[in-house]
Structure 1
Amino acid sequence: MEANAKLAQLPTLSENNDLAEEQVASFQTKGHILLRGVASAQEVSRYEPVIEQFVRQHNNHTLPVDQRDTYGKAFIQVGNIWAQDEAVKRFVLARRFAKIAAELMGVDGVRIYHDQALFKEPGGGHTPWHQDQVYWPLDTTKTITMWMPLVPISEEVGSMTFVDGSHSSGYMSRQFISDESHKTLGSYIAGKGLTTTNYGAMAAGDATFHAGWTLHSAPGNPTDKMREIMTIIYYADGTRALEPDSSARESDLKNWLPGIKPGEIAASPLNPLLFIR
């Protein structure tokens, strides 16, 4: 009873945040957008302690930051929290967030791929240039990630940096997040003279949304405060699973689309429909 009472007191996050046509057009052109106040500071403050506690309890890092490899230095990473905690479930499966994702992509319905807490520790390293969708066995370009700070993040920690319009190029590199991806893709960006956007400081409850093929990176954390980020990945309802062409996609198919075979509609019990027009 006590747990149910606490759950009932959490914000439902069901109210609409309506988007302007210009915002949708900007996202579809650039492959990314910053939206202020997707959740209020008060709403986020109710969920932050729950998510923070879960991440702390499930942090698998055993080495100090400076003794890890580049990927390990980038963040504490915990996924599919919604399936393990009822309070986080209310946050992650929120209709408000899913509706924004659907409208930005221009689709009628969206399912969740998975959530992921990405906490960058004080002294944590940069996140190398990469495309998210190299990991995902999803046969669609209609994928999007919401990246929301649970605490204010300063200019020096900042948002991610996005390469404008890079989502329209699709598969640019088979490299996963690594020193090699940062060097190779960084050279490509410089050589092509591609334009980038960094949104700087963000308040708790602000959010960026970026397409699955949008090339992006993130700076390290030189501050003494944890950078607490919650991400939610969505894809268009009706999407089919791909035949995995890498060990990473094979792992993702098993973990995030359990029971789904290549060619089938990507709609396992872990991928509920969160919004439909």
Structure 2
Amino acid sequence: MKEFSMIPTEDELASLQRDLSFHPTENPSPKVLASDQIERFNRDGYLAPFSVFSETEVQQTREYFDDLLAKVTAAGGDSYSISSAHLKHGRVYDILHDSRIVDRVADLLGENVIGWGSHFFCKMPGDGKAVAWHQDASYWPLSPSKAVTVWLAIDDADRENACMKFIAGSHTSGHMTYRPSDSTEHNVLNQTIDNPEQYGTLVYDPLAAGEFSIHSDLLLHGSEANESNRRRCGLTLRYCSADVRADLGWSQKGVHVRGTDPSGHWSNQPRPE
């Protein structure tokens, strides 16, 4: 399998010709979402919460992650190290394909959908690391900007243990100017967008374990440091329309989760053991 760049450098991204503008969903006949939800996504840039998993499924998923995290940390990793997990772990591959998630994503992205990303963001109790205000699309060598992130709560996520926060409506402003994060900010990522509320309205995204939200790749979002005594873990699942193009080898990450990929651009790796 061709190697892909895990974290593109700024120079690599700057060399690409990317369409980083919001493409509103035009779907007069959604199959699962209501028409007003489509309108709300186009206006606000996100939808939440969705509750489709049983308590048993939620518990099984948490136990699976607990075991996976223990193995990763024993091997020298940390609670943020489990990325591109669908290419390594069959259970995550299955969650990425789960029709209860993909049905809603397909109503936003169209009949041909690629799942290309899966990353556990796990803030341990009191870990002190924030996720600064950023846009997902800024980090990705994808074009055009027709992608969404599903944030699936493994643990309850609320304001006390640093749930996500959004700037509603900010996705319509296009790609924003950011600055490199200062080391004193203790940021999980390396970009920071200042004065976020000039772009829209601050809203929080509390989710119970097993619930998920969906947000545009251009929506400004982040989360505060978890200073509580409770863990806050979520699994981010990344999807795009099959007509999106990936540079820097990232097409190797993509698997078909709905419909087809007529161009054959995305590699469609088999389910891992």
Shared fold (TM-score greater than 0.5)?
yes
The change in CA–CA distance for 1:255 and 1:267 in structure 2 (over 3 A counts) is: closer
Matched residue SS, 2:246: coil
8 Å contact 2:178–2:191 — kept in the other structure?
no
Deviation at 1:38, TM superposition (A): 3.2
State the distance in 1 between where 2:216 and 2:238 align.
10
Instruction: Point out where structure 1 has 5 or more consecutive residues left out of the alignment.
Output: 1-16, 64-71, 243-249, 259-263, 273-277
Deviation at 1:59, TM superposition (A): 3.5
Match of 1:116 in 2: 119
More helix by share: 1
8 Å contact 1:30–1:165 — kept in the other structure?
yes
State the distance in 1 between where 2:251 and 2:181 align.
20
RMSD of Structure 2 on Structure 1 (CA): 3.1
The change in CA–CA distance for 1:46 and 1:101 in structure 2 (over 3 A counts) is: same
Match of 1:275 in 2: none
Find out whether 1:155 has 2:155 as its counterpart: no
State the distance in 1 between where 2:265 and 2:231 align.
34
Find out whether 1:170 has 2:174 as its counterpart: yes
The change in CA–CA distance for 1:174 and 1:83 in structure 2 (over 3 A counts) is: same
Aligned length: 229
Match of 1:142 in 2: 146
8 Å contact 2:251–2:267 — kept in the other structure?
no
Find out whether 1:213 has 2:218 as its counterpart: yes
Deviation at 1:33, TM superposition (A): 1.6
- Measured against aligned partners, the alpha-carbon deviations of 1:182-201 in whole angstroms (never above 9, x if no partner) come to 996232x24x363111133x
The change in CA–CA distance for 1:164 and 1:36 in structure 2 (over 3 A counts) is: same
Q: 1:52 aligns with which of 49, 53, 66?
A: 66
State the distance in 2 between where 1:76 and 1:183 align.
17
State the distance in 2 between where 1:93 and 1:199 align.
23
8 Å contact 1:139–1:241 — kept in the other structure?
yes
The change in CA–CA distance for 1:208 and 1:159 in structure 2 (over 3 A counts) is: farther
- Write the mapping of 1:27-46 to structure 2, written as runs, cut at 5 A: 27-46=41-60
Match of 1:268 in 2: 267
The change in CA–CA distance for 1:18 and 1:158 in structure 2 (over 3 A counts) is: farther
Report the residue type matching 1:36 in the other structure: F
Report the residue type matching 1:117 in the other structure: F
